[in-house]
Structure formats: C-alpha cells, structure tokens
A and B are shown apart, each in its own frame.
Chain A
Amino acid sequence: MTKNLEVSAGTVPEIGPSQIELLEKLCNASAVSGDEHEVRQIVLEAVKLVADDVKVDALGNILVTKYGRGDGRVRVMLAAHMDEIGFMIVKKHEDGLFEFDLVGGIDERQLPGKPVLVGREHLPGVIGAKPIHMTTAEERKKKIPVSSMRIDMGPGIGEKVNPGDRATFATRFEMVGPSIRAKALDDRLGVATLIELIKHAPDNIDLLAAFTVQEEVGLRGARVAAYAFDPDMAVAVDSTPAYDLPHWDEEDENDRYNTRLDAGPAIYVMDFATIPDRRLVKWLVETAESSDIPYQLRQPGGGGTDAGAIHKARSGIPSVSVSVPSRYAHTAVGMARLDDWSNTLRLLHTALGRVTPNLLAGERRG
C-alpha cells in the first residue's frame, strides 16, 4: 500500500484467484445490450452481503450504495456497464439457419467462421462462410455483408431458437501468460473492478455504484442511474482499446495507439462524448504519481463511456473516466494484462480514499 498517504479504508483490494474467477464468470456470461439478466444475477449475488442498499431500476441497472462514516462525505458515483455487443436473431430460415443483426459496434469482418452461443441456454451455433473453393479472387476483395451471413444451429434445432433471441461470441475466458483473453472484457473488467471497490469502500465517501445497461447502444442506463443517485461527482470505469500494434511499414511509428498494454490504467482527458472535469483528471494523475501507480493518459479522440451521459444528467455532474486498456475490443477475443487491471483497481481505490469536499470546491476551470 502507499507510504505517503492516509487511506481511510480499512481494507485494501487485491486481484487474486477469486477475483479472476469472478471475472471469468462475468466474461463467459451472455449479456447483450437489452438482455443483461445473466450478468445482473452474478453482480447481485456478489454485492448482496457487502452493500448497504441494492436496487434494480426500471431499465435494469443495479444501483448499489455503500455509506461511509462521519461528516463531509462526498457522494461519488462509479459506473461500469454490464452489457456487451452481440447479435439478435431476426429471421428463421430453412435447414437450421438464422438471419441476425448486430447489437452495438461490431466490425462485420470479424464474423465469418465464428462460433456463437444463442439465447439464455447458450445453444451453440456457427457463423459459416462460403468455401474458398467457390469464391473468386475479385469476391475475396469484398467484405461479406451481415445480411448475407447466417447462424447455423444444425438441422435439428426445431423451435428452440426464435427471432428476438440474443447471441454472443462463444469465446471462453482464458489466462495466457501475463494476459487475460476473453470476450466482453469491455466492460466486465469494469464490473469486476466495481465489485471489489464496493467490498473495500473507503469510508470518507458514500460510494454509489451503478452497474449499467445499454451502454453499447447509447449510454441509456447511465443517464437514469445518474439521475437517481444525484451524486457530487462520477467516475466511469471501462475498458478502452489499445491499438498498440506495429505499423505495417516498419519505418513508420504508430503514433495513434489510443492506449498501450502494460502502461497502466488509462485516464481520459477527452473523448467523443465527454470533456472530463480537469479537477478530476488532476486528482487521478496526482494519486497515481504520489503512490507510484503506473498510469497513462488516453490519447484524446473518439470513443465514449457512461461518463458521456452522466456528466449531462440533472444540472451537470463532474465526471471522468478510467479504463483498463485492452486489445481487440468488440471482437470475439479481447486481450488485457492482469497487471493493468490490478493497477486500475489500485488507482481507483487509492484515489477514492483521497476524496474530500475540497476536491470540487469552487468553479470548474477546465
């Protein structure tokens, strides 16, 4: 733990086998935007004994409160989204084949030749592709449109799958060397982080944890969760892409990496949806530097988190985002480093312990 800071929390969170096991369970669950049931059940089970108050709201968000002690407690909202990108079955065709549409931002080039799991029973299916033998060189230069792909469930599927059922990539969680390899790391890493922070909440704040729905289709859950909590400030905890691959031309440097693996939690200075309150950026940066926690500033640019909706709720809520960097978000197989996750948890826990009413005293200056 830190040498030079007083942390008011009694206990310090760490990533060990039981945290990894919980992340595995979260990643392997199916929770396409609008059908977050499976992840919601896991979260409710994990927080029920440690929270002071737990509610599920009209959209399906889980709102967890953990009160601190004493006077002058700042109401800090943390948000992590439970939903993931995926598919919805839209039409049944003959021979066990189903037409599907995309839910959330998915690059259709990631789909041909992938196994998927359909519905709450996780029935296996595959997204096939035309045999190469039957394609022409000209055809192979073109993307295969989603409208011409099908999920094949086998000829005996009967009535077990119907339009409206959701599907996810079938990838199962795996630890590989220093890395975590799984689907839906965006944002189960955030969900797992929030659960640990609730378990080890510092008592100088009231911790208001929102496990949100429908982030991937428009930050819908976060908006109403922020209204309900009416917090003094908010932190969205998410996972952001690391585009830290080499340039095809080895002479050229990759100067648009967004974030890099192994460089620690990514603190946002600006994205497509939010210009974070500079006081909160400074709070996180100073915490990291004074506590020897590695961190990186996410390159300003596109993308967005739940903070995009939260900072505009009610009459405005000072907000910032922190992400665990991960490669290949919104594909079948994401990849993050265990150390980056662990440092993200450390940074947030340490920073929360340093929150005082002074942090947001005065006007916003940037």
Chain B
Amino acid sequence: MIDLTALLKKMLSASGLSGFEGPIREIVHEAWEPLTDELTVSKIGSLHGLKKGRGEDPKRRVMISVHMDAIGMMVTGIQDGLLRFTEIGGIDHRILPGQLVTVHGREDLPGVVVQPPAHLLPESAGDGPVEMKYLFVDLGLGADTVVEKVRVGDTISFAQEPLELTGEALSGHTLDNRVSVAAATLCLEELQNRLHDWDVWAVASAQEEETLGGALTSPFDIRPDMAIVVDVCFAKGLGSSDWRSLPFGEGVGLGYGPNIHPVLYQAFEDKAKALEIPYHRDLMPKMSGTDAMGIQVVAEGIPCMVLGIPLRYMHTPVETVSLKDIRRAGRLMAAFIVDCEKAYQDLTQNALD
C-alpha cells in the first residue's frame, strides 16, 4: 500500500515550475516505475507511463492526465544583493510578503519574499497591497555573493514545509496539482490487481499553468480514445462560497461543461453511485481551466472527463486538501478504467445529440 502522506510530501519537496519540470519528473518516474510497463519523456517534458491492457492488439487507449508543474517565480533583476522577480503561473501578490522560497541559482538558496517599507516605495503604493514589481527576495547573503550565485532567469519555488492539519487534511504549496499526480499513482496501484483490456497511459503533464503545452502535445503521441483529466477544484472555505466551490473533504468533483464529453460524465456519475463514492457535480459553463482544454482539441478531437479534488486557498503556499478526496479520485478512476469499453461503446454509438 502506498503511504499517501509520505508520497505527497516527497512530491512537494521537488521543484518543477512550468517549463522546468525536471526534478518533479524524476520523483514521479520513481513512483510510477514499479506500476507501469514503460516510461518515456515527451519532447516538451511530460512523463508518459504505459500500463498495458490484456486485450488483443490493437488495443484501445485511455489516457490519464495530471499536470505536475508548479506555479512560482523567476528572477528579473538584482539590486544591492536583493532579487526582483515576476510570476510563473497566476499568483496574487497579496500572499507574497514573508513567504519562504528557494531560489534555484547556481545552487539552491533559501530566501524570503520581503515587502519594503512605505518610504522606499512610490507614493502611489500607499499602505495598500504592494505590487509584485516592488517586492524583493532576500537571501540573507552579501551583495557580492548574491551576484556570484544568482542570475536573471533563475527560477524561484515556494519553500514552506507541508503541515498535517486535523481530520486528514494536508496543507502546503503546490498541492495544485501534485495531489492529482498522487491520485493517478493510487489508480495505477489499484490497477495492479484488476484486469483491464485497454492500455492505460498515465501522463504527468508539463506546463499546464502557463501554456497547456503538455496537454496539447502528449495526446498527439499517444492518440488516446478517451482521456481523464484530474486537477484540483475549489473547495468551500474563506472567500470561496458560491456555486464554483465544492464541500471540503466530502467527495470528488465531476466536471460538467463543454470541455467534458457528456457520455463520459454520465459513466463516471453512474460508477460513483454504484460504488457509493461521494461526488459533486462541478459546473464548468465555459471552460474547465485544466489540461482538458488542450487535450480536447488535439488531432481529430478527444473525448475528455475532468475529475476535481477540492482544495482550499488555491495558488497560495497553504493550499489545503483532504486526503480522503485524493483516495476517492484514485479509486473512481480505476473502477472506471476496468470497464471503460462499455462507456466507449455508448460514446461511439450515441453520438452527441
């Protein structure tokens, strides 16, 4: 049995900003190696794991896509030994002052994001939130040392250690979307003991947070017959109470909207009901904000399903998730995959109408 907390903590300890996924890819490679038959790396840096089905060749293929890249920052300049930076992925500048970070310079350097006092800022900055362009990273080193070790373009990761809260909740940075990589890993583990005809392609995709580069390219290599995307979704909590947010720790989100094939939605809902896995319909009226946006339009088009793991405080270093929902997502996917031929028949015979 995989120790989920340990697996997640290990994944969180590895950097892997969008476009710089090397370190996390190695960790996922290690986790998937015993669970897959082949592992390859795509031209853009996504990891492809194949777990072969037992059916006759040519076998149909189901793809699981979980993005492994993280949001973070990049050095834009050095002033008196302090670093200026910009964002990779979407970050609310209001959560930055006082955050611990790691600057990936010639070596990894611990730093902290700092907010200069008002008299060192333009008057327009006032006493409100300080814009990202006026914040610094302080490495605690002399100016000469900083110039030797850091260059413009070096990446910066959040460095807050994860915290285990009560009730099987885990808090930390980059749980978006390492929780889904963990869910895919649990699914692969469960499939070790289940018979499945289809080939299963697990993809830890690159660059979701910036370009959808992984989502747009991996399906072109794999040509799946259908794809399941797992990503985080909003959990109800502070400042997040409207219809977009699902209850925390009370089931997975089943994505519903134009990125999702309605037949796949129905198949997942039926499966969740049959297995008594709690779920909520996660409404995505325009777009899902996930890899499905890329995958859906690759080649001649690929039917997608989106599973959501509810997460509080998305894109902050204290993202908080319930371990229960990660396990539920893994279990539901595995159950779907063992008889996905049925869903596929429905999907091909009952065209959209």
Contacts and interface: CB of A to CB of B under 8 A. Distances in A.
Contact of B163 (A115, A148, A247, A256): A115
Contacts of A332: 98
Interface string A145-170: 00011101111111010000000001
B167 interface: yes
Contacts of A158: 166
A126 B318 contact: yes
Interface string A244-269: 01111110001010000010000000
Contacts of A160: 166
Contact of A109 (B97, B238, B239): B97
A154 B318 contact: no
Interface in B8-54: none
B171 interface: yes
Interface in A108-161: 109-110, 112-115, 123-135, 140-144, 148-150, 152-158, 160
Contacts of A148: 238-239
A160 B166 CA distance: 10
Given A129-B94, A154-B165, 16 more contacts: A113-B316, A115-B171, A126-B318, A129-B95, A129-B239, A131-B234, A131-B239, A157-B167, A158-B166, A176-B110, A181-B140, A245-B136, A246-B80, A246-B82, A248-B120, A328-B138
Contacts, number: 204
Contacts of B318: 113-115, 126-129, 152
Contacts of B142: 177-178, 262
A229 interface: no
Interface in B190-246: 234, 236-240, 244
Interface residues of B, number: 65
A28 to B, nearest CB: 13
Contacts of B97: 109-110, 331
B106 interface: no
B312 A112 contact: no
Interface in A315-363: 327-328, 331-333, 335
Contacts of A140: 92-94, 129
Contacts of A135: 92
Nearest to A252: B120
Given A149-B238, A150-B238, A177-B145, A335 B316 contact: no
B106 to A, nearest CB: 14
6 contacts: A109-B130, A110-B98, A129-B94, A154-B169, A243-B119, A335-B112
Interface of A: 95-97, 107, 109-110, 112-115, 123-135, 140-144, 148-150, 152-158, 160, 170-171, 174, 176-179, 181, 243, 245-250, 254, 256, 262, 327-328, 331-333, 335
Contact of A132 (B141, B168, B238, B314): B314
Contact of A156 (B127, B129, B166, B234): B166
B289 interface: yes
A154 B166 contact: yes
B317 to A, nearest CB: 5
Contacts of A327: 114, 138
Interface in B82-111: 82, 90-100, 110
Given A109-B129, A124-B164, A153-B165, A131 B95 contact: no
B313 A131 contact: yes
A57 B145 CA distance: 48
Main DSSP-derived SS at the B contact region: loop
B312 A128 contact: yes
Nearest to B119: A256
B58 interface: no
B320 interface: yes
B160 A115 contact: yes
Nearest to A161: B166
A153 B238 CA distance: 13
Contacts of B234: 131, 133-134
B141 A156 contact: no
A123 B169 CA distance: 13
Contacts of B112: 181, 328, 333, 335
A269 B93 CA distance: 37
Given A177-B140, A178-B142, A245-B136, A133 B315 contact: yes
B279 interface: no
B310 to A, nearest CB: 12
Contacts of B161: 115
A95 B114 CA distance: 32
A246 B120 contact: yes
B140 A176 contact: yes
Given A113-B99, A134-B234, A142-B128, A125 B165 contact: yes
Contact of A335 (B90, B96, B138, B239): B138
Count chain B CB atoms within 10 A of each CB in A115, A150, A181, A331 and give the residue with the most: A115
Closest 9 CB pairs of A and B: A156-B167, A154-B165, A130-B239, A179-B140, A156-B166, A113-B95, A131-B314, A154-B166, A126-B318
Contacts of B120: 243, 245-248, 254
A152 B248 CA distance: 12
A124 B161 CA distance: 11
A332 B160 CA distance: 12
A155 B234 CA distance: 16
Contacts of B136: 245
B348 interface: no
A177 to B, nearest CB: 5
A249 B91 CA distance: 24
B292 interface: no
B285 interface: no
A131 B165 contact: no
Interface string B59-101: 0000000000000000000011010000000111111111110
Nearest to A150: B238
Nearest to B90: A132
Contacts of A254: 120
B237 A128 contact: yes
Contact of A128 (B80, B94, B141, B316): B316
B98 A126 contact: no
B234 to A, nearest CB: 6
A132 B90 CA distance: 7
